[in-house]
Amino acid sequence: MALDEHDISKREAAKQKIFDDRLAQRIDELKWLYIELYDNEWMFAELLGQMGMYYNDRINDLKKLDIEREKNPDWYEKNDKLGMMLYVDNFAKNLKGVKRRLPYLEEAGVNVIHLMPFLDTVPGESDGGYAVKDFRKVRPDLGDMEDLSELTAACHRKGMCVCSDFVMNHTSDQHEWAVKARAGDGEYMSRYFFYDNDEIPRQFDETVPQVFPVTAPGNFTWVSEVNHLVMTSFHAYQWDLNYRNPRVFNEMIYNFLYLANHGVDIIRIDAVPYIWKELGTTCRNLPQVHTIVRLMRLITEIVCPGVLLLGEVVMAPELVAPYFGTPEKPECHMLYNVTTMASIWHTVATRDARLLRMQLDTVAGLPKEYIFLNYLRCHDDIGWGLDYGYLSQFGIEEVAHKRYLNDYFLGNAGYSNSRGETYNDDPVTGDARMCGTTASLCGIEKAGYEGDEEGMSRAIDLDVMLHAYMLMQSGIPIIYSGDEIGQVNDYSYKEDPEKADDSRYLHRGKFRWENERKKKNVKTVEGRIFKRLSELEKLRREHDAFLANADVWTVNTADDSVLCVGRYQDGEKIYGVFNFSENEKTAWFDMEGGFRDLIRGELTAMKEMKLGGYEFRLLMEEAMPEA
C-alpha cells in the first residue's frame, strides 16, 4: 500500500532528527575548533549547511548501515577482518571487473578491499594515482562513480567493506583549481602556496625535509605562466593545498563526503602529517594537523558515522599514536603499523628478532583501543627507517646496515635468495629503498627460475611464516593482491616509458589469473601457499585470543632468531613461536601444563622446542591428560 504524504513526512522528520541529534551533541566542539583555526563564522555556517545536504543525499541503505555501526562501535575491531590492497586495473581491468571478482575475494577470506587510487589523474604525471585531477570523477578507463556505488553496494551485501584513498595534501597541477591559478586567478592561487620571489621558499627549504630528494628534489616549482613559485612537496606536478584558507578545508570536506556517499566504508587520508604548513618548522605533525583531523572525525560522526578514518602516518608506532587522539576526543579510527614492515624484513636479513620483539612490546603497551593495520608488503617501497638508536647497542651502524639490507634483498649478500630492486637510490648518501613482492623477497622467484624444489619449499615456509607472524599481531591484517598465491615480481614495467624509471612497479604488476586457477592444486606453489594461508586465517577467526583487545606480550626464547608472542582473551591463551632463521633452532621455555598445536592438532609441552628452518608453531594452552 502506498504511503500517504503524512507518513512520508513523519519518516523524513525522523531522519532529520537523527542528523539534528548528532549535530547537537558535537556542535560546540565543532564550532570551537573551526573558529579557532579560521575565525570565520560565515564559512562555518556554509559548512553546516553542506553537511546537512550531504546527509540528506546519503541513500537509505547507507543510513541504515550508519545506525547499525553506531550501535556496535567496535564492529571493525574483531578478529574476522582480512584486508587486501589492489589496483583496480591490475586486478580486474575496471570497477565492474572487481565486482565480478568478489567471489574470488570471498574465497580468499578477504572482507576489506582497499582500492588503490582510482580517481581521475594525468597519465605520466599521476604518482600512481596520488596526483588527483578530479576528486569527483573516476579515471575513465576504470569506470565512473555509478560503478563505484554499485561495487560498494555489492560488497555490503556480502558483508565486505571498501577502503579508498583521499589525497588531501595536494592536487594535480591539472586540477581545475590549479588550471585557474596558472591563469592568474587570485582566488585559486590562494588555495595553494604561491610566491613571486624565492625569499620565503628559501626559508621553508632551511627547515623542511625533502620527500624525494633524488627523483623530485626541492619543495618548490617555478610556474612560468604567472612568474611565481608554488609549493610542491612531493612532485613538481603535485601542488600543496593551503589549509590556512577555509575555502580549501570546506571544499575538500565536501569532496570527502561525496566519496563517502558512494558507499566507501574506510577513507584513507593520505600524507596527513604534511597538511599544515608553518614557516620555521618541518611542516610535519603540527598541532593544526590534529585540529583538522579531529574536525574530520566530528563531521564524519555527524554525517556518515559508519565511515572510518584511516591515517597514513609513516612513523614508529609510539610516534603515530597521537593521531588516534584521546578517548574523549578521538581522531583516526585506524593507523598503519608502518615500521613493522621494515623491521620484519630486517629480521629476515639478519636472522635476529630483537628489534621486532622490542617494537612488538612497544605496540602492546599502547591502549588496546588503538587499531593498527599490519602488512608485509604494500604498494610502496620498503624504507629502512629502523630504530638505529636501539640497534647501535648491537654494533649496527645506520649507513652500513642500509647497504647490507639492500644488498641482501638484491640477492647479493648474506646467503640471500631474494630478488628485489632498489628505489630512489641516493648517490650522495648511498641510501635507497627496496621493492619486490613478498614471494620474490622470500626466494620463491629464484627457486622457481632455478627449478630448485628444496629451495622452493624453504622459500614457501618463509613466506607462510611471515604471514603467520602478521596474523599474530593485533589489528587488521592486510595482504597485497597476489601474495595469497605467491605472485612474483613483474619486470614488464621496464618496457613502459611512463613506468620504466619507477621500480615500485616491480611489485605492482597485473594479477595473474592464469596462476590463480592453480590454487586448488596443492602440488603447485599457488596451491601450497593459498591452502596454508587460508588455514591460518580460519584459525584467527575462530579464536578469541586474536581479538584486538587481547592481552599481548613477548616471551624469552634463549635464541635471538626465535620470537615468541603470547595472546590472552577470555580464558584462552595462545602462543606463536617463529623461527626467522633458515637453520634449525632450539627455543627454551619454562612453562607448566600442556599446549595444543593448532595446526598439527597434537598436544605438546613448552620446554625444549626444536624448530626447523622458518618453522612456526601456534600453541593453545590446554590441560595435559593425567598419567
Of 175, 182, 85, 190, residue with least CA distance to 136: 175
The Cα–Cα gap between 299 and 250 comes to 11
The Cα–Cα gap between 600 and 611 comes to 14
The Cα–Cα gap between 576 and 567 comes to 8
Residues whose CB is less than 8 angstroms from the CB of residue 73 and which lie 6 or more positions away in sequence, other chains included: none
Largest CA distance in the chain: 88
* Pairing state between β 334-336 and 371-375: parallel
> Please, which residues bridge with residue 608 across strands?
588
Of 619, 598, 603, 600, residue with least CA distance to 555: 619
One-letter-per-residue 3-state SS of 397-432: CHHHHHHHHHHHHHCCCCCCCCCCEEECCCCCCCCC
The Cα–Cα gap between 366 and 552 comes to 11
List Cα–Cα distances, 421 to 212, 371, 470, 511, in angstroms. 17, 32, 23, 20
For the chain, how many residues are written? 627
Annotated catalytic, 514?
no
DSSP state of 306: T
Which of the residues 312, 484, 526, 537 is marked catalytic? 312
Annotated catalytic, 270?
yes
* Pairing state between β 371-375 and 476-480: parallel
Structural element, H or E, at residue 349: helix 338-350
Which of the residues 89, 127, 270, 483 is marked catalytic? 270
The Cα–Cα gap between 460 and 479 comes to 16
Of 583, 600, 372, 544, residue with least CA distance to 470: 372
The Cα–Cα gap between 287 and 133 comes to 29
First CA to last CA distance, the chain: 72
DSSP string covering 161-229? EEEEEEE-SEEETTSHHHHHHHTT-HHHHTTS-EESSSHHHHHHHHHPPPSBTTTB-SSEEEETTTTEE
Structural element, H or E, at residue 616: strand 616-622
Of 292, 191, 294, 205, residue with least CA distance to 247: 191
CA dihedral 517, 139, 232, 215 (to 10 degrees): 40
The Cα–Cα gap between 508 and 493 comes to 9
Of 336, 283, 328, residue with least CA distance to 311: 336
Backbone CA torsion sign across 114, 118, 123, 126: negative
The Cα–Cα gap between 604 and 16 comes to 60
Residues whose CB is less than 8 angstroms from the CB of residue 556 and which lie 6 or more positions away in sequence, other chains included: 564
Active site residues: 270, 312
